[in-house]
Amino acid sequence: MTDSSKTVNTFTPTVEAIETSRRNFLKFGASGAAAVTLSGVLPGMAAQALAQPAVIDAHTPKAGERRIRLTVNGVAQELNVATNAILLDVLRDRLQLTGTKKGCDHGQCGACTLLVNGVAINSCLSIAVQHDGDAITTIEGLAQNGTLHPVQEAFWEHDAYQCGYCTSGQIMSAVAILQDPAIGRDDASVREAMSGNICRCGAYKNILAAVQSARGKMARVG
């Protein structure tokens, strides 16, 4: 439970958009401009994406399944998923990436927010097989070699949570918003843009403070 390590903000964006993912931008309704800008925030994936994928399932897909390849937090994975499987459930149940949370399963709360090719989406609304070839960043992929992302660091410093259950989603949305030139820098714009992420604990004041303070740190680094 203890953690006293001081974290220095050495966050460096490393990635360009990944070729195979382009075709999905339109499919999921995100604007190309936003996606290109946002891709700068995806931590270290391009290099690993080209490496041999980790094969989760060796066997050929069964009836009702499809074989897909996902690059998750820079690691390529190949697995068979049911055609009705949801991206959120595949990440949590199959890849054991339980940092992304389920708060409603209906796109109403934002707890499941993650980045697909740099675009923030509600992963509970996304069918997994539609993401074949996509690059996904979850909360587990933000810190680099133990160094927290500036948004993570700011959430910790500002006590921008209580129970922590909405936190992954809040952080992923904040990362996307801070990179999105279409979203204003003032408090009202940030509040508006973050309104898809419910915090039932009501830590909104501290979340806003964290997002605004991370903005400064990300700007200095970038």
Provide the strand spans (E) within 30-176.
Answer: 54-55, 65-72, 75-82, 113-116, 119-122, 135-137
Q: Decide: is 28 part of the binding site for another protein (CB under 8 A).
A: no
Q: Give 187's contacts (C-beta < 8 A, 6+ positions apart).
A: 208, 212
| Bridge partners, residue 67, by sequence | 80
SS3 category, 54: strand
Q: Decide: is 57 part of the binding site for another protein (CB under 8 A).
A: no
- Which does residue 74 touch among ligand FES, another protein, none (CB within 5 to 8 A, set by kind)? none
Query: Contact letters (x/-) for another protein, 76-95, by CB under 8 A?
Result: ------x-xxx--x--xx--
Euclidean distance between CA atoms 21 and 38, whole angstroms: 13
- Which does residue 122 touch among another protein, ligand FES, none (CB within 5 to 8 A, set by kind)? ligand FES
Q: Decide: is 161 part of the binding site for ligand FES (CB under 6 A).
A: yes
Q: Decide: is 99 part of the binding site for another protein (CB under 8 A).
A: yes
DSSP at 137: E
Are 110 and 173 in contact, with CB atoms under 8 Å apart? yes
Task: Take residue 206 and report the two structure tokens written for it.
Answer: 């501290």
- Which does residue 124 touch among ligand FES, another protein, none (CB within 5 to 8 A, set by kind)? ligand FES
Judged by CB under 6 A, the residue of 14, 37, 162, 212 near ligand FES is 162
Q: Decide: is 101 part of the binding site for another protein (CB under 8 A).
A: yes
Query: Contact letters (x/-) for ligand FES, 90-109, by CB under 6 A?
Result: ------------xxxx-xxx
Are 194 and 178 in contact, with CB atoms under 8 Å apart? no
Euclidean distance between CA atoms 4 and 156, whole angstroms: 12
- Which does residue 93 touch among another protein, ligand FES, none (CB within 5 to 8 A, set by kind)? another protein
Nearest to 214 by CA among 14, 7, 15: 7
Written as one letter, the residue type at 70 is: L
Q: Decide: is 198 part of the binding site for another protein (CB under 8 A).
A: yes
Q: Where do contacts with another protein occur on this chain (CB under 8 A)?
A: 1-5, 64, 82, 84-86, 89, 92-93, 96-106, 108-109, 111, 138-140, 142-143, 148, 152-153, 155-157, 159, 161-168, 171, 190-192, 194-208
Q: Where do contacts with ligand FES occur on this chain (CB under 6 A)?
A: 102-105, 107-112, 122, 124, 161-167, 199-201, 203
